[in-house]
A and B are shown apart, each in its own frame.
Chain A
């Protein structure tokens, strides 16, 4: 073995305790470096495998394309494969929704919906059904048999009156669990049938297309190509649907790579800071040790090599350990991926199947190479400064080295009387830089943790549910546009015979546990800039006046002013789609009230950012009073039931029954929203905290090192203090006070700075409507957990240190020479 390697190896053994800490830090860093990309890639691969099995394979769907354009479009040189489909109509069945579709063979292929038995329909009276559809029809049939089907066809922009016809079954489709559960099916009819039912000029196609491209192409490039084609044929952007899931699964999303790279950088930085500061804190001792080596003739290069190789020796043990742990963790996470999400869907079933069949790897060789390379790189970078310091000091300087460039003070005004507290302060003041490095490196993780905790705390499932629904229950009439069979479901018609009437309101208010019912009115509305897009004029009741004013982001208006009906607030979402709709603009609204249409000019007085529960997708706000004044009918659109409890089974049941009996009402509950968000957030929160927890463990290594080091280098001094009468209890108190200083310092910076930085991050999340965040909520739980953990670590450490100091006899300590 080369001399430098030998010395480095012996050094590693000699400075065992410090190297164990560095080893743990390297191990944790390597662990994360392996786990993050592996889990990321594993999740993507698993999802992709599932998507490829479950999702249609088309890239884009162009809707509402007339026959002429369709013919030309499919011949476009950028289109690799295409299929045609027509949404002909719906079956008229009470409890199930069955669409009647025409698909050519290519479209059926691209949609993965080839009949499992039989063939696609060709003759005008042929149909492909599924067992579920037959059950919904209440008929039995096999291939060749006939079934009677009541149906409505899409004509004149909506569903026409009902008809009935006898079809001959020519094939069977498989039913998925989801379609059986939700009772939503699709039956296939033939092109002659579609042509017969829909007048030539109204017949529009949906074109499914795969565009030319290779694996490795960015998804954004695909999207551009798809939009270009639409543009060339004059197809409106709104008529394009992109199969995001499939594209994302098979091509590269440019936003994934930077995200994983960003995480890796954070881990690397945490590793470097930890390893560096562990070296920094003990550099004092090491400089003298290296000075001696230099005195006996070691060259600068040899000294650098010794420092580097000592680090590499530790890495040689720690990196494999980190990889081993990482491999186990990745396997556990990936094999349980299907269990994190609850619910039933074709996708989830396939996902679980893919995992169970072991179709996706859980070990990625390249991830090992990457983790090892970055871990070694981190070790090297963190050793650069110690290498320079240790090899650069002259022999004489080395023997006298007192740390940093700081000259020891010659004089200092002191305390007249001393006690343990003052003694501690003296020692800490003497090691300001060391203390600062330790606190800073620990606090970085703390700050990160607090910022993430702020976002997660603002996005608590309870708050998310509160944001997506007002009160505990929301009742609304079933609204449907353009269904000739159900013309009564048009909003204009509902207004004229609105089930949300005073009787129902009084009935609800009398239910046990109900505090009050808040009524929101709505009118169907559009402006010139919105062209054919209709939205709703949202009549907000006085109870929400404060919120309406509070969440204005531009402009100013009071609730009183909104009562006039001449001023409105527009949601920032609408401004995003139609930038013309901004503060100060005067717009002419076309309002529909019952069967009547009229125009009204209003001024946009403000733009606001409101929670989903308040907007319910109705983005033009007025006072309820003003909306009601504009209407001759009952425009109550939502009854928000404010109850004593967010969920009370008896009340929920009563409301469910009430809705079921009415036949024209819908119910949304706070509990459903809460369950949805809770499930989503648990996975995100858990992953975030595990990640941050490991980073925190890295920085705790730092505290341990600083404390051990401060005791180690002062062994003689502590022995001395004890010789002149410091009791074990006093020694414990002194070490505890020192540790408390680090704890408080770290807490002050992490909780203080973390809380401060958390707020702008919250504002960003709110503006971006991330995780339905609207309300700032201070992450008390995280602050308490961080504090308690730090105090616990510090206390355990102090006890361990006092014990270790007492392991040596007093006389050994007094005689101790470095």
Chain B
């Protein structure tokens, strides 16, 4: 296997419903993503791109096929091991940020480390906060942050645990166009600076253009 391939999908299948209501969300999809690259998955609403991302992240299990991250077949892992794998190797950025309301910015950032029983490298976390421009907001609660700030916090959270791959699900979907560009440049810069692999799904072609590679999905298949 090519050691430069970080993510490999093999004949992935995920159907919902049955009979007339059968939805082929992911239909025999195979693809490979190289380490350190920014890949955008684009497709219209209902094309199956979100399902694909969830399968890559191990949030959902496929009907058939395999997902290999850094050479590990993630669905061969039991739930407990999969959760551990996820917190070590995968970082998530969601459309609606999904910050924990009862934790301040700093705590949200270090949460994945805490779950993994890892020590916090304070200098490193401060560096990330500085990078995302929220060093003066580390004690702020999520409810006082703007949408852009929330998403930047979410990006920082994904970076902090130094995962093998970052999965972003429409990260700018809830943002106005100016903030959208800010967040996207931040995301791209960070990925480059920290040498991360980013897989992002979006329905916005303009955003997708910022990626190194664009994969288009239609009816659950790579076009």
Contacts and interface: CB of A to CB of B under 8 A. Distances in A.
Interface of A: 408-420, 422-423, 426-427, 429-430, 716-717, 720-730, 809-811, 814
B100 A720 contact: yes
A419 B100 CA distance: 14
Contacts of B102: 426-427, 429-430
Interface stretch (B139-147, B192-200, B212-220): B139-147
A361 to B, nearest CB: 58
B86 interface: yes
A178 B113 CA distance: 81
Given A727-B84, A814-B98, A416 B120 contact: yes
A419 B111 CA distance: 8
B115 interface: yes
A419 B114 contact: yes
Given A416-B110, A728-B83, A730-B115, 12 more contacts: A408-B141, A410-B143, A411-B139, A414-B104, A417-B119, A420-B114, A720-B98, A721-B115, A723-B98, A724-B87, A725-B86, A726-B87
A418 B107 contact: yes
Contacts of B139: 411-414
Contacts of A720: 94, 98, 100
B104 A811 contact: no
Nearest to B145: A410
18 contacts: A408-B141, A410-B143, A414-B103, A414-B106, A414-B139, A416-B122, A417-B114, A418-B111, A422-B114, A423-B111, A721-B100, A721-B111, A723-B86, A725-B88, A728-B80, A810-B59, A811-B60, A814-B59
B101 interface: yes
Contacts of A429: 102
A727 B80 contact: yes
Nearest to B107: A414
Nearest to A417: B120
A410 B115 CA distance: 25
A408 B120 CA distance: 27
B141 A411 contact: yes
B65 interface: no
B92 interface: yes
A417 B111 CA distance: 8
Contacts of B87: 724-726
B117 A419 contact: yes
B128 to A, nearest CB: 14
A809 B14 CA distance: 14
Given A416-B122, A811-B60, A426 B103 contact: yes
Contacts of B90: 725
A237 B201 CA distance: 99
Interface string B33-57: 0000000000000000000001001
Contacts of B157: 724
A811 B102 CA distance: 22
Contacts of B86: 723-725
A722 B140 CA distance: 23
A301 to B, nearest CB: 33
B30 to A, nearest CB: 22
Given A414-B106, A416-B120, A814-B94, A725 B115 contact: yes
Contacts of B106: 414, 416
A422 B167 CA distance: 27
B116 interface: yes
Contacts of A417: 110, 113-114, 119-120
Interface in B72-107: 79-80, 83-84, 86-88, 90-92, 94, 98, 100-104, 106-107
Nearest to A729: B80
Interface of B: 54, 57, 59-60, 79-80, 83-84, 86-88, 90-92, 94, 98, 100-104, 106-107, 110-117, 119-120, 122, 139-141, 143-144, 157, 161
Contacts of A427: 102
Nearest to B109: A418
B120 A725 contact: no
A434 to B, nearest CB: 13
A412 B92 contact: no
Nearest to A430: B102
Contacts of A423: 103, 111, 114
Chain A to chain B: the 7 pairs with minimum beta-carbon distance, closest first:
A725-B87, A418-B114, A727-B83, A430-B102, A720-B98, A414-B107, A414-B104
Contacts of B101: 430, 717
Contacts of A725: 83-84, 86-88, 90, 112, 115-116, 161
B79 A728 contact: yes
A219 to B, nearest CB: 62
A659 B117 CA distance: 78
A419 B119 CA distance: 10
Contacts of B98: 716-717, 720, 723, 814
B141 A410 contact: yes
Contacts of B107: 414-415, 418, 426
Given A411-B140, A418-B114, A725-B87, A717 B100 contact: yes
A809 B103 contact: no
A720 B158 CA distance: 13
A413 B107 CA distance: 10
Contacts of B112: 724-725
A262 B150 CA distance: 56
A723 B92 contact: yes
B21 to A, nearest CB: 18
A724 B85 CA distance: 10
B148 to A, nearest CB: 17
Contacts of A426: 102-103, 107
Contacts of A811: 54, 59-60
A723 B59 contact: yes
Nearest to B61: A809
A412 B104 contact: yes
Nearest to A724: B112
A422 B116 CA distance: 14
B87 to A, nearest CB: 2
Contacts of A420: 114-115
B57 A723 contact: yes
A804 to B, nearest CB: 16
A417 B117 CA distance: 10
A729 B100 CA distance: 19
A716 B95 CA distance: 14
Contacts of A415: 107
B56 to A, nearest CB: 12
Contacts of A418: 103, 107, 110-111, 113-115
A418 B111 CA distance: 6
Contacts of B88: 725
| Highest count of chain B CB atoms <10 Å: which of A409, A717, A725, A809 | A725
A717 B108 CA distance: 12
Nearest to A407: B143
Given A414-B107, A426-B102, A726 B141 contact: no
Nearest to A809: B60
Contacts of A422: 114
Nearest to B101: A717
| Highest count of chain A CB atoms <10 Å: which of B84, B102, B143 | B102
B35 to A, nearest CB: 21
| Highest count of chain A CB atoms <10 Å: which of B91, B115, B116 | B115
Contacts of B104: 411-414
| Highest count of chain A CB atoms <10 Å: which of B86, B91, B114 | B114
A810 B114 contact: no
Contacts of A409: 141
B14 to A, nearest CB: 11
A716 B84 CA distance: 20
Contacts of B143: 408, 410
A758 to B, nearest CB: 38
Contacts of A814: 59, 94, 98
Contacts of B140: 410-411
Nearest to A730: B115
B149 to A, nearest CB: 13
A231 to B, nearest CB: 76
